[in-house]
Amino acid sequence: MAALHAAFMIPYDPEMPALHIVAVIPARLAASRFPGKPLAPILGMPMVGHCALRTAMSPRVSSTHIATCDREIADFACSIGIDAVMTSDRHERASDRVAEAVGTIESRTGRRADIVVMVQGDEPMVTPGMITDSVDAMLSDPKVQVANLMAPIDDPGDFEDPNEIKVVVARSGDALYFSRRPIPDDSRLGPATPRWKQVCIIPFRREFLFRYLELEPTALERAESIDMNRVLEHGFAVRMVPSRDRTVSVDTRDDLEAVERFMAGDPLVGRYLRVGGAR
Protein backbone atom coordinates (compact mmCIF):
# COMPACT_ATOMS: atom_id res chain seq x y z
CA MET A 1 0.00 0.00 0.00
CA ALA A 2 2.84 2.41 0.71
CA ALA A 3 4.04 2.44 -2.91
CA LEU A 4 0.51 2.86 -4.21
CA HIS A 5 -0.14 5.68 -1.77
CA ALA A 6 3.05 7.44 -2.87
CA ALA A 7 2.03 7.18 -6.51
CA PHE A 8 -1.11 9.22 -5.83
CA MET A 9 0.43 11.79 -3.50
CA ILE A 10 2.72 14.79 -3.88
CA PRO A 11 4.97 15.30 -0.84
CA TYR A 12 3.61 17.82 1.61
CA ASP A 13 5.83 20.86 2.20
CA PRO A 14 5.91 21.72 5.94
CA GLU A 15 7.06 25.25 5.08
CA MET A 16 3.67 26.07 3.55
CA PRO A 17 1.79 28.84 5.40
CA ALA A 18 -0.58 27.59 8.09
CA LEU A 19 -4.20 27.39 7.03
CA HIS A 20 -7.36 27.38 9.12
CA ILE A 21 -8.62 23.81 8.70
CA VAL A 22 -11.93 23.00 10.34
CA ALA A 23 -13.21 19.44 10.80
CA VAL A 24 -16.98 18.95 11.04
CA ILE A 25 -18.76 15.70 11.86
CA PRO A 26 -22.44 15.79 10.81
CA ALA A 27 -24.68 13.61 12.97
CA ARG A 28 -28.40 13.10 13.51
CA LEU A 29 -30.47 10.54 15.36
CA ALA A 30 -33.16 10.09 12.70
CA ALA A 31 -31.15 7.91 10.30
CA SER A 32 -33.44 5.77 8.16
CA ARG A 33 -31.31 2.60 8.17
CA PHE A 34 -30.06 2.74 11.76
CA PRO A 35 -32.00 5.21 13.98
CA GLY A 36 -29.93 6.58 16.84
CA LYS A 37 -26.69 5.43 15.21
CA PRO A 38 -24.44 8.34 16.32
CA LEU A 39 -25.04 7.48 19.98
CA ALA A 40 -24.74 3.70 19.57
CA PRO A 41 -22.05 2.61 22.03
CA ILE A 42 -18.68 1.18 20.99
CA LEU A 43 -16.46 0.13 23.90
CA GLY A 44 -18.64 2.22 26.21
CA MET A 45 -18.54 5.46 24.19
CA PRO A 46 -21.07 6.66 21.59
CA MET A 47 -19.82 6.15 18.06
CA VAL A 48 -19.77 9.86 17.18
CA GLY A 49 -17.43 10.44 20.12
CA HIS A 50 -14.85 8.04 18.72
CA CYS A 51 -15.11 9.77 15.36
CA ALA A 52 -14.68 13.28 16.78
CA LEU A 53 -11.88 12.55 19.25
CA ARG A 54 -9.85 10.60 16.70
CA THR A 55 -10.33 13.35 14.10
CA ALA A 56 -9.14 15.97 16.58
CA MET A 57 -5.82 14.11 16.92
CA SER A 58 -4.75 15.09 13.40
CA PRO A 59 -2.08 17.82 13.48
CA ARG A 60 -3.62 19.38 10.35
CA VAL A 61 -6.93 20.19 12.07
CA SER A 62 -7.33 23.58 13.73
CA SER A 63 -10.63 22.69 15.43
CA THR A 64 -13.16 19.84 15.49
CA HIS A 65 -16.93 20.24 15.72
CA ILE A 66 -20.03 18.04 15.72
CA ALA A 67 -22.90 19.47 13.67
CA THR A 68 -26.30 18.18 14.75
CA CYS A 69 -29.98 18.99 15.03
CA ASP A 70 -30.35 16.81 18.13
CA ARG A 71 -29.79 18.22 21.62
CA GLU A 72 -28.85 14.76 22.96
CA ILE A 73 -25.91 14.57 20.55
CA ALA A 74 -24.90 18.16 21.30
CA ASP A 75 -24.93 17.48 25.06
CA PHE A 76 -22.75 14.41 24.59
CA ALA A 77 -20.28 16.37 22.43
CA CYS A 78 -19.91 18.99 25.14
CA SER A 79 -19.35 16.27 27.76
CA ILE A 80 -16.20 15.10 25.94
CA GLY A 81 -14.91 18.58 25.17
CA ILE A 82 -15.97 18.72 21.52
CA ASP A 83 -17.76 21.83 20.26
CA ALA A 84 -21.36 21.20 19.18
CA VAL A 85 -23.04 23.31 16.51
CA MET A 86 -26.83 23.15 16.36
CA THR A 87 -28.22 23.05 12.83
CA SER A 88 -31.56 22.81 11.09
CA ASP A 89 -33.47 19.51 11.23
CA ARG A 90 -34.49 19.92 7.58
CA HIS A 91 -31.16 19.03 5.94
CA GLU A 92 -31.23 15.99 3.67
CA ARG A 93 -27.52 16.02 2.79
CA ALA A 94 -24.62 15.94 5.21
CA SER A 95 -22.85 18.62 3.16
CA ASP A 96 -25.75 21.05 3.76
CA ARG A 97 -25.51 20.48 7.52
CA VAL A 98 -21.74 20.98 7.41
CA ALA A 99 -22.03 24.22 5.46
CA GLU A 100 -24.55 25.65 7.95
CA ALA A 101 -22.21 24.68 10.78
CA VAL A 102 -19.24 26.35 9.09
CA GLY A 103 -21.19 29.61 8.89
CA THR A 104 -21.91 29.40 12.62
CA ILE A 105 -18.31 28.53 13.49
CA GLU A 106 -16.98 31.46 11.47
CA SER A 107 -19.44 33.83 13.14
CA ARG A 108 -18.39 32.59 16.59
CA THR A 109 -14.67 32.76 15.98
CA GLY A 110 -14.44 35.70 13.60
CA ARG A 111 -12.12 33.62 11.41
CA ARG A 112 -12.82 32.28 7.95
CA ALA A 113 -12.07 28.62 7.27
CA ASP A 114 -9.69 27.72 4.45
CA ILE A 115 -10.44 24.00 4.28
CA VAL A 116 -13.46 22.17 5.70
CA VAL A 117 -13.01 18.46 6.40
CA MET A 118 -16.32 16.61 6.47
CA VAL A 119 -15.96 13.38 8.45
CA GLN A 120 -19.06 11.23 8.49
CA GLY A 121 -20.13 10.21 11.97
CA ASP A 122 -20.28 6.53 11.00
CA GLU A 123 -16.49 6.30 10.55
CA PRO A 124 -15.47 5.52 14.15
CA MET A 125 -12.21 3.84 13.06
CA VAL A 126 -10.91 7.04 11.42
CA THR A 127 -7.26 7.70 12.28
CA PRO A 128 -5.37 10.98 12.55
CA GLY A 129 -3.26 9.84 9.59
CA MET A 130 -6.33 9.47 7.41
CA ILE A 131 -7.34 13.06 8.11
CA THR A 132 -3.79 14.23 7.47
CA ASP A 133 -3.46 12.32 4.20
CA SER A 134 -6.74 13.67 2.82
CA VAL A 135 -5.82 17.26 3.68
CA ASP A 136 -2.25 16.95 2.40
CA ALA A 137 -3.61 16.09 -1.05
CA MET A 138 -5.04 19.62 -1.08
CA LEU A 139 -2.08 21.34 0.53
CA SER A 140 0.24 19.80 -2.05
CA ASP A 141 -1.88 20.79 -5.06
CA PRO A 142 -3.77 24.10 -4.97
CA LYS A 143 -5.91 23.01 -7.93
CA VAL A 144 -7.64 20.32 -5.84
CA GLN A 145 -11.00 21.68 -4.67
CA VAL A 146 -12.36 18.52 -3.04
CA ALA A 147 -10.76 15.21 -2.11
CA ASN A 148 -12.00 11.81 -0.91
CA LEU A 149 -10.22 9.01 0.81
CA MET A 150 -10.58 5.57 -0.74
CA ALA A 151 -9.65 2.06 0.37
CA PRO A 152 -9.14 -1.17 -1.56
CA ILE A 153 -12.00 -3.67 -1.57
CA ASP A 154 -10.72 -7.10 -0.59
CA ASP A 155 -13.97 -8.75 0.48
CA PRO A 156 -16.29 -9.90 -2.35
CA GLY A 157 -19.22 -9.21 -0.03
CA ASP A 158 -18.21 -5.56 0.24
CA PHE A 159 -18.00 -5.35 -3.54
CA GLU A 160 -21.65 -6.44 -3.81
CA ASP A 161 -22.88 -4.43 -0.80
CA PRO A 162 -24.87 -1.32 -1.85
CA ASN A 163 -23.93 0.35 1.43
CA GLU A 164 -20.31 0.42 0.22
CA ILE A 165 -19.80 3.19 -2.34
CA LYS A 166 -17.50 2.04 -5.12
CA VAL A 167 -15.35 4.41 -7.15
CA VAL A 168 -13.49 4.06 -10.44
CA VAL A 169 -10.37 6.22 -10.65
CA ALA A 170 -8.44 7.70 -13.57
CA ARG A 171 -4.67 7.49 -13.88
CA SER A 172 -4.55 11.12 -12.76
CA GLY A 173 -5.91 10.07 -9.36
CA ASP A 174 -9.26 11.78 -9.96
CA ALA A 175 -12.58 9.96 -9.72
CA LEU A 176 -14.34 8.86 -12.89
CA TYR A 177 -17.58 7.65 -11.29
CA PHE A 178 -19.12 6.61 -7.97
CA SER A 179 -21.72 3.84 -7.67
CA ARG A 180 -23.38 1.60 -5.13
CA ARG A 181 -23.24 -1.18 -7.69
CA PRO A 182 -20.12 -3.36 -8.14
CA ILE A 183 -17.86 -1.41 -10.51
CA PRO A 184 -15.72 -1.97 -12.49
CA ASP A 185 -16.89 -5.30 -13.92
CA ASP A 186 -14.00 -7.49 -12.85
CA SER A 187 -15.51 -10.54 -14.57
CA ARG A 188 -14.09 -9.07 -17.77
CA LEU A 189 -11.05 -7.26 -16.43
CA GLY A 190 -9.84 -10.00 -14.11
CA PRO A 191 -9.25 -10.24 -10.35
CA ALA A 192 -6.14 -8.04 -10.51
CA THR A 193 -8.26 -5.01 -11.46
CA PRO A 194 -8.14 -2.48 -8.59
CA ARG A 195 -11.46 -2.16 -6.79
CA TRP A 196 -11.91 0.85 -4.54
CA LYS A 197 -14.51 2.07 -2.07
CA GLN A 198 -15.10 5.59 -0.86
CA VAL A 199 -14.14 6.36 2.72
CA CYS A 200 -16.26 9.28 3.89
CA ILE A 201 -13.52 11.69 4.89
CA ILE A 202 -13.99 14.58 2.48
CA PRO A 203 -12.04 17.85 2.65
CA PHE A 204 -13.42 20.80 0.65
CA ARG A 205 -11.88 24.15 0.05
CA ARG A 206 -14.30 26.44 1.81
CA GLU A 207 -15.35 28.36 -1.31
CA PHE A 208 -15.93 25.14 -3.23
CA LEU A 209 -18.13 23.69 -0.49
CA PHE A 210 -20.52 26.62 -0.82
CA ARG A 211 -20.26 26.57 -4.61
CA TYR A 212 -21.12 22.87 -4.60
CA LEU A 213 -24.29 23.57 -2.63
CA GLU A 214 -25.36 26.06 -5.30
CA LEU A 215 -24.98 23.49 -8.08
CA GLU A 216 -28.18 21.96 -9.37
CA PRO A 217 -28.68 18.40 -8.11
CA THR A 218 -28.10 15.89 -10.89
CA ALA A 219 -29.70 12.71 -12.20
CA LEU A 220 -26.75 10.46 -11.35
CA GLU A 221 -26.46 11.96 -7.88
CA ARG A 222 -30.10 11.09 -7.23
CA ALA A 223 -29.94 7.66 -8.89
CA GLU A 224 -26.92 6.57 -6.87
CA SER A 225 -27.62 8.68 -3.76
CA ILE A 226 -23.99 9.82 -3.82
CA ASP A 227 -23.15 13.51 -3.40
CA MET A 228 -19.85 13.39 -5.27
CA ASN A 229 -21.58 12.50 -8.54
CA ARG A 230 -22.98 16.03 -8.57
CA VAL A 231 -19.42 17.36 -8.56
CA LEU A 232 -18.45 15.12 -11.48
CA GLU A 233 -21.58 15.82 -13.54
CA HIS A 234 -20.92 19.54 -13.31
CA GLY A 235 -17.42 19.04 -14.69
CA PHE A 236 -15.33 19.37 -11.51
CA ALA A 237 -12.68 16.94 -10.31
CA VAL A 238 -12.66 14.85 -7.14
CA ARG A 239 -9.13 13.86 -6.10
CA MET A 240 -9.02 10.34 -4.66
CA VAL A 241 -6.46 9.59 -1.95
CA PRO A 242 -5.63 5.98 -1.01
CA SER A 243 -5.87 5.30 2.71
CA ARG A 244 -3.03 3.46 4.39
CA ASP A 245 -5.35 2.45 7.23
CA ARG A 246 -8.10 -0.13 6.90
CA THR A 247 -11.40 0.90 8.46
CA VAL A 248 -15.01 -0.24 8.55
CA SER A 249 -17.89 2.22 8.46
CA VAL A 250 -21.08 1.49 10.39
CA ASP A 251 -24.25 1.10 8.33
CA THR A 252 -25.93 -1.70 10.31
CA ARG A 253 -25.94 -3.18 13.80
CA ASP A 254 -23.83 -6.05 12.48
CA ASP A 255 -21.24 -3.49 11.37
CA LEU A 256 -21.33 -1.98 14.86
CA GLU A 257 -20.50 -5.32 16.46
CA ALA A 258 -17.69 -5.95 13.98
CA VAL A 259 -16.19 -2.50 14.54
CA GLU A 260 -16.26 -2.98 18.31
CA ARG A 261 -14.25 -6.18 17.91
CA PHE A 262 -11.72 -4.45 15.65
CA MET A 263 -11.35 -1.45 17.93
CA ALA A 264 -10.87 -3.50 21.09
CA GLY A 265 -7.15 -3.77 20.33
CA ASP A 266 -6.67 -0.31 18.85
CA PRO A 267 -4.02 1.64 20.80
CA LEU A 268 -5.63 4.96 19.85
CA VAL A 269 -8.71 4.12 21.88
CA GLY A 270 -6.85 4.11 25.18
CA ARG A 271 -5.43 7.55 24.50
CA TYR A 272 -8.75 9.34 24.20
CA LEU A 273 -10.95 7.22 26.45
CA ARG A 274 -8.71 8.37 29.31
CA VAL A 275 -9.58 11.94 28.31
CA GLY A 276 -13.18 11.60 27.17
CA GLY A 277 -14.24 8.86 29.52
CA ALA A 278 -16.41 5.90 28.61
CA ARG A 279 -20.16 6.23 29.01
Give the CA distances from residue 187 to residues 131, 183, 193, 209, 246, in Å, rounded to whole numbers and listed in that order.
34, 10, 10, 37, 25
Residue 270 lies in a domain: no
Label residue 204 exposed, middle or buried (CB < 10 Å: 0-12, 13-18, 19+).
Answer: buried
- Torsion region of 235: left, alpha or beta (phi above 0 gives left; psi -120 to 50 gives alpha): left
Highest-scoring range by mean pLDDT, 24-28, 150-154, 159-163, 190-194: 24-28
Question: With 90 as the cut, is the pLDDT of residue 154 above it?
Answer: no
Q: How far apart are CA 83 and CA 105, in angstroms?
A: 10
pLDDT for res 194: 82
pLDDT for res 160: 93
Bridge partner list, 165: none
Q: How far apart are CA 232 and CA 178, in angstroms?
A: 9
Instruction: Give me the percent of the chain exceeding a pLDDT of 70.
Output: 90
Task: Evaluate whether 196 touches 151 at the Cβ level (below 8 Å).
Answer: yes
Residue 14 lies in a domain: no
Task: Evaluate whether 253 touches 247 at the Cβ level (below 8 Å).
Answer: no
Count up the domains in the chain and report the number.
Answer: 1
Bridge partner list, 198: 150
- Using pLDDT thresholds of 50, 70 and 90, give the confidence band for residue 8: very low
Question: With 60 as the cut, is the pLDDT of residue 204 above it?
Answer: yes
- Using pLDDT thresholds of 50, 70 and 90, give the confidence band for residue 10: very low
Residue 44 lies in a domain: yes
Question: With 60 as the cut, is the pLDDT of residue 13 above it?
Answer: no
Average pLDDT, the chain: 89
Helices (H), the chain: 2-8, 47-55, 71-79, 94-109, 128-139, 156-160, 186-189, 206-214, 219-224, 228-233, 253-263, 267-276
Task: Evaluate whether 87 touches 69 at the Cβ level (below 8 Å).
Answer: yes
> Which carries the bigger pLDDT value, residue 191 or residue 120?
120
Query: What average pLDDT does the segment 81-99 reach?
Result: 94
pTM of the model: 0.89
Question: With 70 as the cut, is the pLDDT of residue 274 above it?
Answer: no
pLDDT for res 85: 98
pLDDT for res 211: 97
Residue 99 lies in a domain: yes
pLDDT for res 168: 96
Residue 243 lies in a domain: yes
User: Which residues, 6+ apart, have CB-to-CB distance to 245 below 8 Å?
Assistant: 125, 127, 129, 130
pLDDT for res 199: 94
- Using pLDDT thresholds of 50, 70 and 90, give the confidence band for residue 191: low
- Using pLDDT thresholds of 50, 70 and 90, give the confidence band for residue 277: very low
Torsion of CA 83, 87, 92, 96, to 10 degrees: -70
pLDDT for res 5: 33
Which of 53-57, 91-95, 224-228 has the weakest average pLDDT? Answer: 91-95
Residue 180 lies in a domain: yes
Residue 269 lies in a domain: no
Range of the domain at 36: 2-8+19-248
Residue 165 lies in a domain: yes
- Which helix (H) or strand (E) segment holds residue 62: the answer is none
Which of 11-20, 123-132, 218-227 has the weakest average pLDDT? Answer: 11-20
Question: With 70 as the cut, is the pLDDT of residue 11 above it?
Answer: no
Question: With 90 as the cut, is the pLDDT of residue 57 above it?
Answer: yes
CATH of the domain at 158: 3.90.550.10
